[in-house]
Structure 1
Amino acid sequence: MLIGHYTYSLVLISVLVAILASYTTLDLAGRIASASGRARMLWVCGGALSMGVGIWSMHFIGMLAFTLPIPLAYDIPLTLLSLLITIFTSGLALWLVSHDRVPVLNIVLGAFVMGLGSSTMHYTGMAAMRMQPGIDYDPTLFGLSLVIAVTASAAALSIAVRLRKETPYVRLARSGAAVIMGFAILGMHYTAMTAANFPAGSFCGAIPGGLLPDGLDKLVLIASLTVLGITLLTSVLDARMAARTAQLSLSLKEANRELTQLALHDNLTGLPNRILLADRIDQAMHKVDAQGGMFALMFLDLDGFKPVNDAFGHHVGDQLLRAVAVRMRENFHRHDTLARIGGDEFVLLVELDDGEEAVSVASRQVALVSQPFSVQEHDLQVTVSIGISLYPGNGRTQQELLMNADAAMYHAKSAGKNGYSFFDASMNTNARNQLQLLQDLRLALREGQFCLHYQPKFSAGTHRPIGAEALMRWNHPQLGLLMPDTFMGLAEKTGLIIPIGEWVLNEACRQMKRWYDAGYTDWRIAVNLSALQFSHVGLVETVTDALATHGLPANCLTLEITETTAMSDADASMTVLQKLSDMDVDLSIDDFGTGYSSLMYLKRLPANELKIDRGFVRDLEDDSDDAAIVSAIVALGQALNLRIVAEGVETASQQSFLTRLGCDSLQGFLLGHPLPAERFMADIEACRRRLSEITN
C-alpha cells in the first residue's frame, strides 16, 4: 500500500481558507436575510458561488497538500464537476434557510443537501485522480465522513440562521462561529482523506491531459481568495449602505412623525389642535351613533388672560397657557381630548354616561383653573368660562356643536365669568347678535363712527365750570346713537378697547386743546380708562404721544380709573400711576366706595381726586346710610388732600347737601347733559344762568 504525506504549509492554508469561507457564508446569510425580492435571489446566487468556491478550494488545497510517492494529476472534467456540485448544493441549502422564518425542517433538509453535496464534491474530486487500481475506502471512516459532513452542515446552517440579524456584536460572534464551522468542514475532509487507501503498484491515470499539481495550489488559492474577498467586500459595503439606508429611513420616519405632530398639535402646549380635534369629534359622533351613549363638547375661554399678557409680556402669557394646559390635562380621562384652538381658547371633548356627569367635569375645570399659577416668580390668577354642548341633542355636525358650545361660553361670561353654562337654543340669537356687533365695532373703528360727548363739571362753591368728562358714543348706521354700555364690554373682551381707547384719548386732548386756546386754561378734560387699558404696557407712551401731538399741558388731562382696577394689583398700579403723576397728569379714583378700598394703598397712590359713585348720590336724600358713607368719603379725601367729585347730581337738594359737605366739584344732569362739543358751550352758558337763578 502506498503511504502518503501532507505538506503542512498547505494544510494550514486549507484551514485558513475554510475559516474564511465559513465567515463569508455567515456574512452572506445576514445579507440574504435583510434583502427581499430579486435582491434576495441575487444574494443567494452570489452566496452559492462564494460558499461553493470556498469549500471546494479548501478541499482542493487539502488534496494538493497530500502527496504520494508517485506522480499525480487531476482530470479536468471531474474537477470542474466537483466544483459545480458544491456550488449547486450550497445554493440550494442557502435558499432553504433564506426565508424570514426558517422552520427546523428546512435546516435539516438543507443540512442533508449541503452535507451530501460536500461529500459528493470531495469523492468526485478524489476520483479526478483516476487511480489505477481504484482507491480503496475504509467503510467505517467513509460513513463517518458522511456523518461529519451532514452534522457540520447542520451546525453551519443553524449558526447562519441565528447570526443573520445585524446586532452590535454580530461580527465578533460570526468570527468565532467561522472558526468552529471551518474546523467542522476540515474534519469531514481529512476524515475522508484518512478513509482512502492506495494499493501498492497504483498509478495515476489522469496524468495524460490532466492538471499537474506544480503551482496549482497557488492558482487555486489566489482564485478562491479573490472570489471570497470580492464577495465579502461586496457584502460589507452593501451592509454599510443598508445601514445608512436604514438610518435615513429612520430619520425620515422621525421627520414624518415630527411633521405629523406639528400638523396635528399645538406648538405651544403640545395639545391637539383644530385638525386633530375635528377628527376626534367625528370619531366620537360615529361611536355614539353606532353604540349609543353621549359626549360633551366644552368650550373653555380664560377670563383675565389678556391683562396678564399685556402687563407681563407674551413670554409670561405663553408660560401661563402651558401651565393651564398641564393642569387641565392631568385631570381628565385618558380617552378624552383637550385641544387648544387658538389664543386662550381650549376645547374639551368628554365621553359621558349621562348629562349630569358634565356638571362635575366642568365644575372641576373651573376650580382647577381658578387656583393661582406661579409663572416666573409671578403669582398669576385667571379664571375660566365654559360653554357646554351635548351630543346627541345640541347639534348634528361638529361645526354646530362647536358653535353652540361657543355661544354657551359667551353666556357664561355674561353671567359673571368663572363658571359654566349649558347650551340653550336662545343663545344662538344672542351669539349672532354679538358677532354682528363685533363686526360692526371693527368697521366703526376703521370708518370713524365714534364720537365724544362732553358732560360739564362745576365747582361746588362758585358754580363755575372747571372742565368736562369725555363720554363715548357710537353713531351706528342702523341702530342710531349707542351708549357705551351696549358695546364697551364687547370691546374690552375682544381687546378692541385698546385702539378705541387710544382714539378717545387723542380726540379728548384735541378738543381740550381748542378750549385751552380759547382761554379756558384752568379746565381739565377727564377720560375714563378701562381695566384692560390700564394694564396695557403701552399706556404711558400712549398718553405721552397724545399730549405731545396736540400740544396740551399734562395738567389739563385727568385720567379716571375705577377703584377696583387700581386695587386689583396695587403694586403694579402704583408703578403706572407714579409714571403718569410724574408727567403732571391728573389722576382720579372713579366709583370710590364701591370696591374693596384699602386705606394703606390709597394713601400711597399718587391720585389727585376721589370720585363718589352716583349710586350713593342717587339715594342721598332718602338713605341715611348713603349720607353717612358720602360724608366719610369726603372726610377721607380731605384728610388725604384729595379733591372730591360727586357725580350723578340730579336735584337741587343733592347739590346743596354735597356742597355743604365739602365736595370740590359736581357733575350730573342737573348741571349739564353730555353733549357734542359744538353744543357743549351753549349748554354751559344755559346751566350758568339756571344755577344763578337757583342760588338767588
Structure 2
Amino acid sequence: MHIWRFDTSSPTLGPLLEGSHDPLLVTLSIAIACFAGVTALMLADRMVASDSARNRAWWNIGGAVAMGCGIWAMHFTAMLAFSVEGHEHMEYSLGPTLVSMVPGIVGSGAALYCMSRPKLTTSQLLLGALLLAVGIGSMHYIGMEAMHMEGLRYDFPIFVLSIVVAFLLALAALYLHFRVRKLPAVSEKTLTLLAGVFMGLAVAGMHYTAREASLFYATTAAGPVEHGMPIANGTMTAIIVCFAALILGLSILVAWMDRQKAVQRMLEQVANTDALTGLPNRPHFLQRLSVALRHSRRSHTRLAVLFMDLNDFKIVNDSLGHATGDRLLQEFAGRLRSCIRAQDTVARFGGDEFVVLVRDLNMSEDVLKAVERLLKAMEAPVEFEDWKLHLRASIGISIFPDDSEQADELIQQADAAMYRAKTEQLDYCFFDKDLTDHSLLRVRLGNDLRDALKQNQLFLQYQPLVDLHTGEWIGLEALARWQHPLEGNIPPGVFAPLAERTGLVVQLGEWVLRQVCTQGRLWLEAGLDVGFIAVNIAAPQLSRTGFVAQLRQILKETGFPARYLELEITESSLMNTDQESIDRLHEIRDMGVSLAIDDFGTGYSSLSYLKNLPIDKLKIDQSFVEGALTDHRDQAVIRAIFDMGTSLGFDVVTEGIETEEQEQAVLSLGCRMGQGFFFARPLDVETVASALGKAARPTEPSTQ
C-alpha cells in the first residue's frame, strides 16, 4: 500500500464511482468469518489441552491457518459481494492476493499463542488483540491492493477507525475465550461458540468499516497498467470455496477430537467413580492423595486421612433389605459431599467404608473442624417410608507427616484408628503408634487367609447339641478354626469378618461344607451315629445362584447322605428374602437337607416371613440365655419363641448354655434341646469319635 492512496487531489482522478453490495454474499462473508473464528478457538482449546510442546505447536499452526484462511476468504467473499460501476467483473493480481494471506495467518497465530498461556496478564491480552488486529488490517489492505483499481483511495479517519474496531472486537473475543477456562464445563462449548462469533465479527467489522473508508474514482491515466497475472472473479470464487472447505475440514477434525475427548472423559468418569454413590472410588482417591502429598511436601503443610465406617450398617442392610441399604449409603455419601471443602476429597472404598482427604492443615488439631462438620451432617435422621434411621459413623484419623509420609500407610493407620473408635464406641479416634502392630497384623491376616485355605491351616471342630432331658447328643455343629503358623490360633471372631471383607467367605464356606460332608461319611462308614451335622451358611453363599448346584455336587462327590446335613442361616440373612431365595431354600429342603435359623430373636422385622420359609429348626440366640435366671423379659422371649416355634412345627434349640442353672431355667421354660459350654466345648475329630464310642478314620486333607 502506498501513501498516495490517501491523496484525493491527483489530476488523474475523475468522478467518484458508485458501488453496491449483494446481500446474500455479504451474509455469507460474515458467516465464513464467524465459522473461521469458532474453528480457530476450538483448535486453540486443543493446543491448551495438549501435553507436549510439539502437539501444542501443531495445534497453534492449525488454529492460525484456520483463522488466517477465514480472514482471507471472508475478505474476498465480501469483495465479490461488492461491485463498482464500470468494474462489475473485477480482476485481482495473483501476487498481492497470495501475500495478503500471510499477515492474517501470522497475526492469528501470535494471538492464539498468547491465549495458550496458563495465566493471561493484561499486557498479554492487549498484545494478542493488537497482533490480531494488525494481521486482520494488513490482510485487508494488502488484499485491496490486489484489485485492478487505479482510482482506489482511503478516507484516513475511517481508515484508522477500522483498525480500532478490529482491535476492540478482537480484545473482546480473546478475553471471552480466556474466561471459558475459568467457568464450569457445562458452559464451555457455548462460550467458545460465542467467543468465535466475536472473533468473526472482529474480522467482518474491520472489513466493512474499512470498506466505508474506501473511495473508488474513475481515472484518466493513459495506457494500460501492468498488474501481473490476473485472477478473474470465477477463479477467485473457486479459491474461496477451497479455503472454506479447508476450514470446514479443520472444524470436522476438531469436532471429532472433541467427541473422542468426551468419550475418554466418560470412560475416565466410569473408571474413577463409584457407581452407587457417584463419589470417587479407591483408585481415584489414591491418585488424589498422591497429588496432595506432593503438594504438602512442597508447601510444608499437613493433610489428614479420615477413614469412616457406618455403625450397624450390616444389621440395617440385612434386616431392611439391600435396596434400603443402598439408599442409606447414597444419603450418607450426599451428606459427606455437602460438608467438605472444595479442595478436599471424599471417596467410597466399598461397602460402608468411606475415606475423606483433608488438605492444607497448619496443625494436626485443625482436622477437628472437618470432623465436627461430618458429625453434624449425620445428626438428622434418614427417613424411608415408615422408617427413621439415625446415621452414626466411627472415624479414624491419620496425619501427614506426623504418622506417616506414605499414602498406603496413612490409609492403614486411619483404618486402624477407626476400628479402635468403633470398639470403644467413640465418634472419632486419632491414630496412635500403639495401633501399628494391631493394624498391620489384621492386614497381614487378611492376606494370609487366602493361603490358609490352600495350605491346610484351617480345620474343623464340632460342638454337640444335646437333649436337655437325657443329656444325649442329637447332633453336631461344625465350627471352623485357623491355626496360623506364626500367630497361633486365630479366633473365628477375627478371621470370619476378615473373610467377609476380603471376599473369601464364599470360598471358606465351600471348604467347610466339603470337609463336613467328607468327615461325616467317614464317621458313618465307621458305624458312628452322628445324628446330624450343622453347618453355618453365610448370606453371600445363599445369595449365589449356583449354591444349590454346588451343594448337590459336594454331597454327590463325598457320598454323604443329605438327611444328615443341616444348614444354619442367621435370622438377619433371611429378612426380606426375595422369591428367588425362597425357591432356592425349597430346592435345598427337597434334597433332604434340613434348615435352621441361627441367632433367632435378634431380627428387626416382622415374624411373618417364617410361614413362607421351609424351616425345620429355630436356635434361640444366647443373649437371651444370659438373663434367663433373673430377667423376666428374657424369660418371656424364650417362652414366646418356644411356644411359637413348636406351634409352627419347628424344633427349638437354646444356644449358649454355660451353667447347670441356665439349663434348668430353659428347661422350666419348655425348651427340650440345647447347646453350650456346659455340655461340651468344640471338640476335635478324634474326641468326637471317642465320645461316640468308636475310633474314626483320619480326615483326608482337602486341597480344594
The TM-score, its normalising length taken from structure 1, stands at: 0.64
- Aligned residue among 185, 189, 195 for 2:217: 189
- Aligned residue among 115, 129, 133 for 1:101: 129
Pair 1:632–1:90, CA change in 2 (3 A): closer
**Number of residue pairs the alignment of both structures matches:** 608
- Aligned residue among 398, 401, 413 for 1:389: 398
Describe the SS at the equivalent of 2:366: coil
CA distance in 2, matches of 1:662, 1:94: 100
- Aligned residue among 463, 480, 485 for 2:493: 485
- Aligned residue among 469, 479, 492 for 1:471: 479
CA distance in 2, matches of 1:491, 1:111: 75
Residue 112 of structure 1, CA deviation: 14
What do the CA deviations read for 1:379-402 (whole angstroms, capped 9, x no partner)? 999975432223564334444432
Answering whether residue 306 of structure 2 is matched by residue 277 of structure 1, we say no
Pair 1:521–1:497, CA change in 2 (3 A): same
Residue 349 of structure 1, CA deviation: 2.0
Q: Which residue of 2 aligns with 1:360?
A: 372
- Aligned residue among 504, 529, 533 for 1:525: 533
Q: Which residue of 2 aligns with 1:692?
A: none
Residue 444 of structure 1, CA deviation: 0.9
Pair 1:660–1:479, CA change in 2 (3 A): same
Q: Which residue of 1 aligns with 2:519?
A: 511
Answering whether residue 697 of structure 2 is matched by residue 684 of structure 1, we say no
Pair 1:428–1:242, CA change in 2 (3 A): same
> What letter is aligned with 2:236?
L
CA distance in 2, matches of 1:307, 1:629: 20
1:92-241 to 2 correspondences below 5 Å = 101-102=129-130, 122=150, 188-190=216-218, 224-225=232-233, 228-229=236-237, 231-241=239-249
Pair 1:151–1:94, CA change in 2 (3 A): farther
What do the CA deviations read for 1:564-593 (whole angstroms, capped 9, x no partner)? 555x54778867655544544323333445
Q: Which residue of 2 aligns with 1:407?
A: 416
CA contact 1:616–1:626 (8 Å) conserved in 2: yes
Pair 1:460–1:288, CA change in 2 (3 A): same
CA distance in 2, matches of 1:392, 1:398: 10
> What letter is aligned with 2:511?
W
Answering whether residue 619 of structure 2 is matched by residue 608 of structure 1, we say no
CA distance in 2, matches of 1:154, 1:365: 63
Q: Which runs of 5+ in 1 are unaligned?
A: 1-10, 66-79, 124-144, 197-205, 687-696
Answering whether residue 463 of structure 2 is matched by residue 455 of structure 1, we say yes
> What letter is aligned with 1:501?
G
Q: Which residue of 2 aligns with 1:674?
A: 682
Describe the SS at the equivalent of 1:188: strand
CA distance in 2, matches of 1:657, 1:31: 91
Describe the SS at the equivalent of 2:555: helix
CA distance in 2, matches of 1:105, 1:650: 94
The Cα RMSD (Å) is: 6.3
> What letter is aligned with 1:408?
A
> What letter is aligned with 1:476?
H
Q: Which residue of 2 aligns with 1:423?
A: 431
What do the CA deviations read for 1:435-490 (whole angstroms, capped 9, x no partner)? 22222222111222222222333434455432222122223323444442342232
Residue 540 of structure 1, CA deviation: 4.3
Residue 115 of structure 1, CA deviation: 13
CA contact 1:617–1:654 (8 Å) conserved in 2: yes
CA distance in 1, matches of 2:522, 2:143: 114
Farther off after superposition, 20-29 or 249-258: 20-29
> What letter is aligned with 2:248?
R
Residue 507 of structure 1, CA deviation: 1.7
CA contact 1:298–1:349 (8 Å) conserved in 2: yes
Residue 622 of structure 1, CA deviation: 8.0
CA contact 1:302–1:344 (8 Å) conserved in 2: yes
> What letter is aligned with 2:292?
I
Answering whether residue 382 of structure 2 is matched by residue 371 of structure 1, we say yes
Residue 526 of structure 1, CA deviation: 1.5
> What letter is aligned with 2:357?
L
CA distance in 1, matches of 2:647, 2:144: 118
> What letter is aligned with 2:438?
N
CA distance in 2, matches of 1:313, 1:598: 13
CA contact 1:587–1:607 (8 Å) conserved in 2: yes
Q: Which residue of 2 aligns with 1:71?
A: none
Q: Which runs of 5+ in 2 are unaligned?
A: 1-14, 41-59, 112-127, 174-192, 695-704
Pair 1:340–1:109, CA change in 2 (3 A): closer
CA distance in 2, matches of 1:631, 1:676: 33
Percent identity reads 32
- Aligned residue among 346, 349, 353 for 2:354: 346
Q: Which residue of 2 aligns with 1:561?
A: 569
1:617-628 to 2 correspondences below 5 Å = none
Pair 1:638–1:288, CA change in 2 (3 A): same
CA contact 1:110–1:154 (8 Å) conserved in 2: no
Q: Which residue of 2 aligns with 1:130?
A: none
Describe the SS at the equivalent of 1:122: coil
Pair 1:90–1:16, CA change in 2 (3 A): farther
Describe the SS at the equivalent of 1:487: helix
Describe the SS at the equivalent of 1:675: coil
Farther off after superposition, 494-503 or 240-249: 240-249
Residue 432 of structure 1, CA deviation: 1.0
Farther off after superposition, 427-436 or 659-668: 659-668
CA distance in 1, matches of 2:629, 2:71: 112
Residue 611 of structure 1, CA deviation: 3.2
Pair 1:122–1:424, CA change in 2 (3 A): same
What do the CA deviations read for 1:405-451 (whole angstroms, capped 9, x no partner)? 1222333454569x543322222111011122222222111222222
Q: Which residue of 1 aligns with 2:593?
A: 585
Describe the SS at the equivalent of 2:432: coil
CA distance in 2, matches of 1:564, 1:94: 75
Pair 1:414–1:61, CA change in 2 (3 A): same
Pair 1:120–1:450, CA change in 2 (3 A): closer
CA contact 2:72–2:104 (8 Å) conserved in 1: no
